[in-house]
Amino acid sequence: MGQQQLLLIVLAIIVVGIAVLIGINLFHANSVDTKRNQIINESVNLAALAQQYYMKPSSLAGGNKSFTGWTIPTSLATTANGTYSAAVNTDNVVISAVGNEVVTASTPVEVKITVYAKTYQVEVVH
């Protein structure tokens, strides 16, 4: 009877260990998705700022139908969720966001948004 009980205890420990590993993996996956959604939201806010700049006339410190001259406000370039940079062209802006959550090994969460005059396109890199 002692061997059977010992075998059941070992089996229970193995099952609990597997359950803990699955739980850790699910938590990490949820954490990555949450961080990705947060940097997408912040990038969309930056896209709205760029579109506002595009629509404003130059007399109101705007771009007068051009993105040239638009920059990410310094207070929004680095947040608790990640860092943001912009490549500005005349007719579009590409906002790159790198989150501080790691997807795999050393690959961080990364999103790119291409902003046009009235639309934007979100691309999830990692």
Strand ranges inside 1-126, DSSP E: 82-88, 93-104, 107-115, 120-124
Q: pLDDT tens digits, residue range 9-55?
A: 999 999 999 999 999 999 988 988 889 999 999 999 999 999 999 99
**Looking at per-residue confidence, does 1 or 32 come out higher?**
32
pLDDT value at residue 3: 86
Least confident stretch, 3-7, 8-12, 22-26, 82-86 = 3-7
- Asked whether the beta carbons of 19 and 77 are under 8 A apart, the reply is no
pLDDT value at residue 54: 93
How far apart, in Å, are the Cα atoms of 123 and each of 30, 66, 78? 19, 23, 20
Q: Would you list the domain boundaries of the chain?
A: 2-124
